[in-house]
């Protein structure tokens, strides 16, 4: 057999250091593009870029939702940038709820790892699909559709979600309606809700106008 250097020569001719293949670990200091964050130089990438420990921590459910979402999107987990996949952890105290929301840019699979959760979604045809999920059950929420998760039973629950985008987005309906500056008359006009209800929820959820 011939000496190794020839082989390495062969390899290095194929695999230029400026290659854009394989992965694109996010560098948040560079410009953002329609396809995600720009890439760190491969020479500075380490295994730590591909491992995220943030989902090992129980989320703080001491809030109005009695629930917490811990995301591992490309903003938090640079290694998934450009790979069309990301994840999140969901913690539910008793009575916890992840209210009606959409992910504008992703489908989701949702796995219950502890406790019992009632989960569901509503289709464009206005059909309702919901079911009580137990430990080990997996549910899929198609892209962009309204869905929700509600803790059930006598013990807290935990679930993990994965998304078909590194940046699925999250739009919670009640926050979109009552948690910003959208004027109350406009909220009422586009939802049919009455004035009293809108103003009450704006107070609770921090909305103005």
Positions at the binding site: 101, 103, 108, 147
CB of 159 to a second copy, least distance (A): 11
Nearest residue (CB) to a second copy, 94 versus 164: 164
Q: Distance (Å, rounded) from C-alpha 36 to C-alpha 129?
A: 32
Nearest residue (CB) to a second copy, 84 versus 153: 84
Q: Distance (Å, rounded) from C-alpha 27 to C-alpha 23?
A: 12
CB of 156 to a second copy, least distance (A): 16
Residues 24-63 contacting a second copy, CB under 8 A:
24, 27-28, 30-39, 42, 45-48, 50-57, 62-63
Q: Strand, helix or coil at 152?
A: strand
Beta carbons within 8 Å of 73's beta carbon, 6+ residues apart: 80, 86, 88, 163, 166, 167, 168
- Nearest Cα neighbor of 163 from 38, 68, 73 is 73
Contact residue for a second copy among 93, 117, 157, 170 (CB under 8 A): 170
- DSSP bridge partners of 81: none
- Nearest Cα neighbor of 82 from 21, 29, 15 is 21
Number of residues that bind a second copy (CB under 8 A): 145
Please report, in range form, the residues annotated as the binding site for oxalate: 103, 108
Nearest residue (CB) to a second copy, 68 versus 157: 68
Residue 92 belongs to what H/E stretch?
strand 86-92
Residues 105-124 contacting a second copy, CB under 8 A:
105-109, 111, 113, 118, 120-124
Residue 157 near residue 137 (C-beta atoms within 8 A): no
CB of 147 to a second copy, least distance (A): 9
Contact residue for a second copy among 44, 116, 177, 199 (CB under 8 A): 177
CB of 149 to a second copy, least distance (A): 9
Binding mask 69-108 for a second copy (x = CB under 8 A): xxxxxxxxx-xxxxxxxxx---------x-xx-xxxxxxx
Residue 149 near residue 119 (C-beta atoms within 8 A): yes
Please report, in range form, the residues annotated as the binding site for Mn(2+): 101, 103, 108, 147
Q: Strand, helix or coil at 161?
A: strand
């Amino acid at each position: 057999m011939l000496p190794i250097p020839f082989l390495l020569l062969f390899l290095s001719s194929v695999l230029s250091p400026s290659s854009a293949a394989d992965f694109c670990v996010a560098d948040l200091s560079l410009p953002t593009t329609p396809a995600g964050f720009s890439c760190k130089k491969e020479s500075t990438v380490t295994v730590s870029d591909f491992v995220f420990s943030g989902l090992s921590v129980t989320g703080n459910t001491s809030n109005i939702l009695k629930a917490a979402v811990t995301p591992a999107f490309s903003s938090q987990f640079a290694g998934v940038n450009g790979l069309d996949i990301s994840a999140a952890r969901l913690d539910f105290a008793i009575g916890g709820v992840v209210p009606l929301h959409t992910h504008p840019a992703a489908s989701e699979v949702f796995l219950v790892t502890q406790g019992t959760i009632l989960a569901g979604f509503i289709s464009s045809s206005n059909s309702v699909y919901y079911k009580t999920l137990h430990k080990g059950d997996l549910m899929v929420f198609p892209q962009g559709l309204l869905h929700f998760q509600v803790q059930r039973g006598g013990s807290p629950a935990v679930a993990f979600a994965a998304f078909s985008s590194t940046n699925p987005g999250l739009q919670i309906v009640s926050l979109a309606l009552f948690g910003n500056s959208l004027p109350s008359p406009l909220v009422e006009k586009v939802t049919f809700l009455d004035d009293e209800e809108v103003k009450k929820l704006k107070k609770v959820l921090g909305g103005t106008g």
